[in-house]
């Protein structure tokens, strides 16, 4: 067992973990932050994307001990301080960027990382950035529209696939 301490969504947390425990398991099972979804455990789907020290990371590919001392942000921390939806979350709602919702937390976290790096991405750049995220319901069109809208861009010009 190893002791880990980190800041998750602005709150100091700690726990004892086995060396092989994944960050996704620590967040979900120990901290009860179940918005981080696990869909594949092989880094293929992107449902588990969180931010570690400001970088988008697939939490199913990182051990909890690797996050010791880190700043971790999950989907639960994306809402505004008053509890209202963030710009990105609101755009996903407004533009129907979700259906079953399983991939949504990873998509929102990936979108937040993209918009931090590139505040006004092109449609192509959004699609390329999301290559590591799988959605089986939406066909991505409305997800792309949501991200473009969250960046303040006109979504009317986005062609339907």
Beta bridge partners of 139: none
Strands 11-17 and 2-8: antiparallel
pLDDT of residue 159: 59
Q: What is the pLDDT of residue 160?
A: 54
Query: Which structural domains are found in the chain, ordered by start?
Result: 2-77 (3.10.20.30), 87-150 (1.10.150.120)
SS3 assignment, position 149: helix
pLDDT of residue 70: 98
pLDDT of residue 154: 86
pLDDT per residue as tens, the chain (161 positions): 999 999 999 999 999 999 999 999 999 999 999 999 998 878 899 999 999 999 999 999 999 999 999 999 999 999 999 999 999 999 999 999 998 989 999 999 999 999 999 999 999 999 999 999 999 887 899 999 999 999 999 888 775 54
The Cα 157–Cα 90 span in angstroms is 20
Q: What is the phi/psi pair of residue 106, to 5°?
A: -65, -40
CA dihedral of 29, 30, 35, 39, whole degrees rounded to 10: -40
- How much is the pLDDT for 41? 76
- Which H/E stretch holds residue 57? strand 55-58
Going across the sheet that includes 71-73, the strands are 11-17, 2-8, 71-73, 49-52, 55-58
């Amino acid at each position: 067992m190893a002791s880990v301490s980190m800041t998750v969504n602005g709150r100091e947390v700690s726990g004892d973990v086995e060396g092989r425990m994944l960050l996704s398991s620590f967040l979900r099972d120990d901290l009860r932050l179940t918005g981080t979804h696990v869909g594949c455990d092989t880094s293929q789907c992107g449902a588990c994307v969180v931010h570690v020290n400001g970088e988008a990371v697939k939490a199913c590919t990182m051990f909890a001990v690797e996050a010791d001392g880190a700043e971790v942000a999950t989907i639960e921390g994306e809402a505004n301080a008053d509890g209202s939806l963030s710009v990105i979350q609101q755009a996903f709602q407004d533009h129907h960027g979700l259906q079953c919702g399983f991939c949504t937390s990873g998509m929102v976290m990936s979108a937040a990382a993209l918009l931090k790096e590139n505040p006004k991405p092109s449609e192509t750049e959004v699609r390329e950035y999301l290559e590591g995220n799988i959605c089986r319901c939406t066909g991505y069109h409305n997800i792309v529209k949501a991200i473009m809208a969250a960046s303040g861009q006109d979504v009317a010009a986005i062609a339907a696939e």
